[in-house]
Chain A
Amino acid sequence: MTLDPHWNLDEGYRIELFDEQDIVGEEDLLDLWTREAVLPEIEAKRRLPEVHLVGLTEAGELAGISSARLRRNEQLRMDLWYYRAFVAEEHRRSNVAVTLALRGRDNLQQRFVSGEDPRAAGVCYEVENEGLKRYFPEAEWHPTRFLFIGENPLGAHVRVWYFPGALAPDPPR
């Protein structure tokens, strides 16, 4: 599935692959994460190689960041892209976060389907924020269609999107 053609990013924003743009750099990412007290500096630096997309304003200001980390989901016995999206406080009334999630999912899916990167069978979100859980309570999220598959040990909702052609694990021999 690709991005819903009726889904439009709010005016005044654009989403870019971090590695394919030169408007913002690593210092801008570190600055946003630490300025808004999202991450300690050491964790922010560790996360830099995982950055996938950036949300930018027309003026070139960094409004949001998404990152993807390859990790084993033991419940599914499958490797998935654990995806995170962060949007700066002053841009949270926009739909940048959802668009980062949708475009991130579609980009990773395209890489899986084309064979460019078949390492993960899908994308996973761990929803820690209680407000988000209450605001988006559907078992299958729209418009992203992420499926609720349970809770992690910390009580975060775990949601998954499988790529077309992804396979469930083999039964034990």
Chain B
Amino acid sequence: MSYRVELFAEQDTVGPADVIELWKRETGMPDDEAARRLHEVLFVALGDDGQLIGVSSAYLLRNEQLRMDLWYCRAYTAPGHRPEAVGVTLMHRARELLEERFTSGADRRGAGTAVEVESEVLQRDFRPAIWPQTGLAFIGKNASGWHVRVRYFPGALAPDP
């Protein structure tokens, strides 16, 4: 099955209700959390028939280890579509968009993208210190023990001494 990835805000095939429905159906996300997270949605992956099969989102958060603000990215893919690497494409497009905004000066709030790898399967089976497809580099673990990976935008600065 083929799919396409589009900016959520610039398409009208799926709407907020579809995103919430996917999150709730597949992950059991509570209503209030799904509603809160809606404004973080960047891209959607759509199947041939226009069905929503994946969502990427990003939120700005301070990383205390780095003393830097970063865009924490998430991608969710419906279970039947995971072998198609939809999640990698969603992450890749999200990073490209945020990086373009940073380098153009449109939005310089985040110095890069970060992911927190909750899945133990991912931590165990995708162990390269730098993920080849996304360039995300391992920088340690968070308080929950999840791997944290970062990719800086070109020109991003380390914190002042």
Closest to A171 in B: B123
Question: Interface digits, A143-170 against B, CB 8 Å rule (1 contact, 0 not)?
Answer: 0000111110001010010100111101
Binary CB contact string for chain A from 128 to 144 against chain B (1 if under 8 A, 0 otherwise): 00100110011110000
CB closest chain-A residue, reference B66: A150
C-alpha gap A168/B139 in the complex (Å): 9
Q: Is B130 an interface residue (CB 8 A)?
A: yes
User: Is B129 a contact partner of A167 (Cβ separation < 8 A)?
Assistant: yes
- Knowing A150-B65, A171-B145 touch, does A137 contact B158 (C-beta < 8 A)? yes
Contact indicator A150/B139 (Cβ below 8 Å): yes
Q: 8 Å CB contacts to A: which residues of B104-123?
A: 111-112, 120, 123
A150: nearest chain-B partner, CB-CB: B65
Q: Is there a chain A Cβ closer than 8 Å to B25's Cβ?
A: no
Interface residues of A in 65-117 (CB under 8 A from B): 75-78
The answer to whether residues A168 and B161 also contact, given A76-B140, A139-B152, A139-B156 and a CB cut-off of 8 A, is no
Within 8 A of A (CB), among B20-50: none
Inside 8 A of B152's CB, which chain A residues have their CB?
Answer: 139-140, 147-148
CB within 8 Å for A168 and B112 given contacts A137-B158, A138-B158, A162-B130: no
Q: How far is the CA of A130 from the CA of B160 in the complex (A)?
A: 9
Q: Name the interface residues of B88-144: CB closer than 8 Å to any CB of A.
A: 111-112, 120, 123-124, 127-130, 137-141
Complex CA gap A168/B138 in Å reads: 7
Residues of chain B touching chain A, judged by Cβ–Cβ distance below 8 Å, are 65-68, 111-112, 120, 123-124, 127-130, 137-141, 145, 147, 150, 152, 155-158, 160-161
Q: What residues make up the interface of A, taking CB atoms closer than 8 Å to B?
A: 75-78, 121-122, 130, 133-134, 137-140, 147-151, 155, 157, 160, 162, 165-168, 170-172
